[in-house]
Amino acid sequence: MSSTDYDVIVIGSGIGGLVTASQLAAKGANVLVLERYLIPGGSAGYFDRDSGYRFDVGASMIFGFGDKGTTNLLTRALDGVGMSIETIPDPVQVHYHLPDGLDLKVHKDYEKFLQELIAYFPHEEKGIRQFYDECWKVFNCLNVMELLSLEELGYLTRVFFQHPFACLGLVKYLPQNAGDIARRYIHDPQLLKFIDAECYIWSVVPADRTPMINAGMVFSDRHYGGINYPKGGVGQIAQKLVEGLEKAGSQIKYKTRVTEILIENNRAVGVKLASGETLRAKRVVSNATRWDTFEKLLPASQKPNSETKWQQRYQQSPSFLSLHLGVKAEALPADVECHHILLETWDEMEAEQGTIFVSIPTLLDPSLAPEGHHIVHTFTPSWMQEWENLSPSEYKAKKEAAANRLIDRLTQLFPNLIQGLDYQEVGTPRTHRRFLGRENGTYGPIPARKLPGLLGMPFNRTAIANLYCVGDSTFPGQGLNAVAFSGFACAHRVAVDLGL
């Protein structure tokens, strides 16, 4: 090949990286995706077991598969490369089991959810409606405009003239956090803790550190586009994006680990692989975390000051302790919902292994388990330091003890769980680091302190020319639909820079 082998090299095949790559390929760019693992998807990947179970690596509560508006970014990403996925709608986003007897479901039907919440807090009916209605204002602003790069002046000018009031509305909310707005309308301390839990289950921080833009998107889209599970498992999203990428004439290489981003004259010009091979490109996009990108793939001497400052504002979110269970169908109550949150005491919400997230995707897609069985995927936040410096036997024993504690807690929801156990596998932050290639197994950045909404989140361009970042380390942050947004924005910015 010539001195520049590709238009764009994308490091990593998480959803942000794949949306970037596939959208660029659809525009005619020659793109190469480099993935260190055997399959695409990163934390939106999957793994099969001989016992007949197909497990999702991460969460199975999926936004972005709606069929209307502009915030259905997964639908749009697949459609952009001529792909689609059959999805199964879930009538309930999540069933909360919280302290003080707060047990309620977030129904897709908005009014049904509000009525259930108001039944617990009748004295706060007005405040509840005002807060969630304010979330709709944010969502409605987002949902009329094509979501592309906020770094591209032509797009900003065009979208402002098309939707001036929506743009002004978003500008108002950009520096605000959900907790500030909730406290404007709501005064009951327990209800405010519930709003904290509503934010924590996807932002991993309470409401006062959760940007209002993100809250507006999540708290409204669950009632608008809804929660829709991809038939065949979450891993199908990445598989279909790769299929579309390849149909558009670009390619992905697996078992190919990038060890260095090559810089010449302060410009990214390509990558070096673990094999020693070098590949050159006009643009390089990193779907690794910012910590991995600027501290491992680049020499420390070349770390831009802007990244040092960013790390003072944001810290790594925890990783997760994951418990993948196969259970007999009779182990679960007949009327059980797909997604659950279990928390016994409010003080433990942000604690190590405090909040438990539960997904039972086989309630929506039975094909993921042997007949007459279900998957119960349980995960709880856990920090890498809890799992370091252990001997193999200590590590194994600690994993077993943690799994047993989780199962004991789950019996509050599923009393017959232990008798119905058929398969069990545990993953720790070390597992996430090993398979996902993410510093400390982190699932992305969280504010180190209270910040002004989303204003501190960087966009896709970096201080190094021709090097871009995509994924949860960039605007607008964590979550599958959020990293798809990041992917659309990055592809748009790179395409403009390449003159496509």
**pLDDT, tens digit, for every residue of 305-361?**
888 888 888 888 898 999 999 999 999 998 999 999 999 999 999 999 999 999 999
For the ranges 9-18, 164-173, 288-297, 346-355, the lowest mean pLDDT is seen at 164-173
Tokens linked to 399 = 């994993």
Indicate if the pLDDT at residue 482 is higher than 90: no
pLDDT confidence bin for 243, thresholds 50/70/90: very high
The more confidently predicted of residues 300 and 307 is 307
Same domain, 370 and 288: no
Same domain, 37 and 64: yes
Residue 50 domain flag: no
Residue 374 domain flag: yes
- pLDDT tens digit sequence for 202-236: 888 999 999 898 899 899 999 999 999 999 999 99
Per-residue confidence (pLDDT) for residue 164, from 0 to 100: 73
Per-residue confidence (pLDDT) for residue 2, from 0 to 100: 43
Per-residue confidence (pLDDT) for residue 3, from 0 to 100: 56
Per-residue confidence (pLDDT) for residue 157, from 0 to 100: 67
Residue 96 domain flag: no
Q: Specify burial of residue 295 (Cβ count, 10 A radius: 0-12, 13-18, 19+).
A: middle
Q: CA 237, CA 59: separation in Å to the nearest integer?
A: 13
Same domain, 324 and 420: yes
Residues 6+ apart with CB under 8 A from 266: 464, 465
Same domain, 176 and 268: no
Per-residue confidence (pLDDT) for residue 14, from 0 to 100: 92
Tell me the whole-structure pTM to 2 decimals: 0.91
Tokens linked to 388 = 């370091």
Same domain, 19 and 73: yes
- pLDDT tens digit sequence for 129-159: 999 999 998 888 887 767 666 666 666 666 6
For the ranges 9-23, 103-117, 154-168, 327-341, the lowest mean pLDDT is seen at 154-168
Per-residue confidence (pLDDT) for residue 149, from 0 to 100: 61
Residue 287 domain flag: yes
Helix axes 480-498, 212-224, angle to 10 degrees: 110
Q: CA 166, CA 142: separation in Å to the nearest integer?
A: 7
pLDDT confidence bin for 12, thresholds 50/70/90: very high
Number of domains observed in the structure of the chain? 3
Task: Identify the bridge partners of residue 328 per DSSP, sorted by sequence position.
Answer: 373
Residues 6+ apart with CB under 8 A from 140: 166, 220
- pLDDT tens digit sequence for 415-424: 999 999 999 9
Which range scores top for mean pLDDT: 147-161, 389-403, 467-481?
A: 389-403
Indicate if the pLDDT at residue 450 is higher than 90: no
Indicate if the pLDDT at residue 1 is higher than 50: no
Residue 90 domain flag: no
Find the mean pLDDT for residues 363-377: 95
Indicate if the pLDDT at residue 362 is higher than 60: yes
Same domain, 169 and 208: yes
Domain boundary among 189, 205, 224: 224
Question: Hunting for tokens 């010449």 — which residue is that?
Answer: 264
Average pLDDT, the chain: 90
- Percent with pLDDT over 90 in the chain: 68
- pLDDT tens digit sequence for 424-447: 999 999 998 888 888 888 888 888
pLDDT confidence bin for 200, thresholds 50/70/90: very high
Q: CA 440, CA 381: separation in Å to the nearest integer?
A: 12
Per-residue confidence (pLDDT) for residue 474, from 0 to 100: 87
Find the mean pLDDT for residues 274-294: 94
Tokens linked to 270 = 């390509």
Q: CA 157, CA 92: separation in Å to the nearest integer?
A: 39
Element (DSSP H or E) covering residue 54? strand 54-56
Residue 144 domain flag: yes
Burial 38-51 (b: 16+ CB within 10 A, else e): ebbbbbbbbbeeee
Residue 378 domain flag: yes
pLDDT confidence bin for 174, thresholds 50/70/90: confident
For the ranges 67-76, 78-87, 255-264, the lowest mean pLDDT is seen at 67-76
For the ranges 13-27, 138-152, 182-196, the lowest mean pLDDT is seen at 138-152
Indicate if the pLDDT at residue 87 is higher than 70: yes
Same domain, 329 and 413: yes
Domain boundary among 224, 258, 289: 224
Locate all alpha helices (DSSP H) within 121-177, ordered by sequence: 125-142, 153-162, 164-173
Residue 441 domain flag: no
- pLDDT tens digit sequence for 254-273: 999 999 999 999 899 999 99
Domain boundary among 206, 224, 242: 224
Find the mean pLDDT for residues 367-395: 94
Per-residue confidence (pLDDT) for residue 44, from 0 to 100: 82
In the sheet where 373-382 sits, what is the strand order?
A: 102-107, 92-98, 339-342, 356-359, 373-382, 319-328, 421-427
Same domain, 146 and 76: no
Residue 218: which domain range?
113-224
Task: Identify the bridge partners of residue 95 per DSSP, sorted by sequence position.
Answer: 105, 340
Residues 6+ apart with CB under 8 A from 434: none
Which CATH number goes with the domain that contains 361? 3.90.660.20
